[in-house]
Amino acid sequence: MTTEEMQRAPLAAERRAHLLASLERDGVVRVADLTEELGVTAVTVRRDIAQLEREGLLARVHGGAVPVDGKEGTPDRAPTATIGVLVPSLDYYWPGVVRGMEEEARRHGLRVVLRGSSYEAADERPALERLVAAENLRGLVLAPRTDSPHAQELVQWLARTEVPSVLVEREAALAPHREALESVVSDHALGALMAVHHLADLGHRRVGLVISRQSPTSRKIAAGWRAACADLGLSSEEHFERLAPDRHRPEFAKAIEEVVDTAVASGTTALLAHSDPEAFAIVQNAQDRGLSVPGDLSVVSYDDEVAGLFSPALTAVRPPRAAVGHAAVDLLARRLADPSRPVHRVAISPRLVVRESTGPVAPSARRT
């Protein structure tokens, strides 16, 4: 730090007052944010947090601090109960959600037992029954298939069991009266709508959609895309929708080639693709045939797992993965503390991250 920076840096009392005000406002403070706001080093911020913890004014957690009064959260403590987590994948997308769950579980003194299912699992109830029996679980957080023939049987079982549960990135209702189950989801439809409006603001009138599988996420993305097209007055002739096969299947490359063929033939100037690998493949195919991205074709990816690593870096919709995990466990903890509380359904907004793969529509593609 230079002499001038040292002179501008706030004094300890000012820093700590700012820190406590931020904590009261946001319910959590992060070292990385405070270093930028205060213009001091991370070591200085950690020292301030440690001092305030000794004074009983906050509790340290990894990367920052939380209040000690329990109103906005509690510090990490030793696990006193176990919850089960079942997600359909342990590699793509879900690790970020699970990390958020594990962090929140530590704050509530809960231990997580993690199990992986698959998108093809026909009936997840036997696995859940074994998990509940083997681990003496206090609660469940799960992302089951909601489109399988056994989906309503699973919902009925969740309603009958004495183990409270929260659905994550899934929604379901109990027949026959459609009582909702507790759930936390990303607002994927809003994310798609944001992406299409971003492209429209750049002058694009023909915006296509490529979705990777018939999953709850893809269906919501498609719904948001259609809503945006309706908002913008795009007719059915001005956009197209494609379902790409699994990227590990041999027909994937041909399907991507046909997507770009259709875009070129129809005058489509922008595409929204779920997810990053599908978007990568579209950009690569377009570049291989001499098209410019974003000059000839703008591309937005949905998921933002690795979109920023590609060249050009992809504009992407980023679902709030960690926040969804945090909220799901927090909802379960609140249910355990108060079994009579009303059913809560939480939707968390994603964020559009604008990078290099989107730009103004080329003058030659503008409609006259």
- Structure-model confidence comparison of residues 342 and 131, the more confident one: 342
Please say whether the beta carbons of 188 and 200 come within 8 A.
Answer: no
Per-residue confidence (pLDDT) for residue 67, from 0 to 100: 74
Q: For 71-121, give the DSSP string.
A: SS--------EEEEEEES-SSSSHHHHHHHHHHHHHHTTEEEEEEE--TT-
Per-residue confidence (pLDDT) for residue 120, from 0 to 100: 62
- Structure-model confidence comparison of residues 64 and 251, the more confident one: 251
Q: How far are the Cα atoms of 61, 74, 81 from residue 77, in angstroms, in the given order?
A: 10, 8, 11
pLDDT band at 50 (very low <50, low <70, confident <90, very high): confident
pLDDT band at 89 (very low <50, low <70, confident <90, very high): confident
> Average pLDDT, whole number, for the chain?
88
Q: Give percent of the chain above pLDDT 90.
A: 61
pLDDT tens across 305-336, in order? 999 999 999 999 999 999 999 999 999 999 99
Q: How many CB atoms within 10 Å of residue 309?
A: 10
Please say whether the beta carbons of 46 and 52 come within 8 A.
Answer: no
Minimum mean pLDDT range among 119-123, 148-152, 169-173, 337-341: 119-123
Over residues 231-242, the mean pLDDT reads 84
pLDDT tens across 100-143, in order? 999 999 999 899 999 888 666 667 888 898 888 888 899 999 99
The candidate with the shortest Cα–Cα distance to 105, out of 82, 122, 137, is 82
| Residue 368 in this model has a pLDDT that exceeds 50 | no
| Residue 358 in this model has a pLDDT that exceeds 80 | yes
pLDDT band at 77 (very low <50, low <70, confident <90, very high): low
59-61 vs 64-66, strand pairing mode = antiparallel
Over residues 347-363, the mean pLDDT reads 96
Per-residue confidence (pLDDT) for residue 70, from 0 to 100: 43
pLDDT tens across 186-228, in order? 999 999 999 999 999 999 999 999 998 767 899 999 999 999 9
pLDDT tens across 257-298, in order? 999 999 999 999 999 999 999 999 999 999 999 999 999 999
pLDDT tens across 11-30, in order? 788 888 888 888 877 777 88
Per-residue confidence (pLDDT) for residue 1, from 0 to 100: 39
Predicted TM-score (pTM) of the model is 0.77
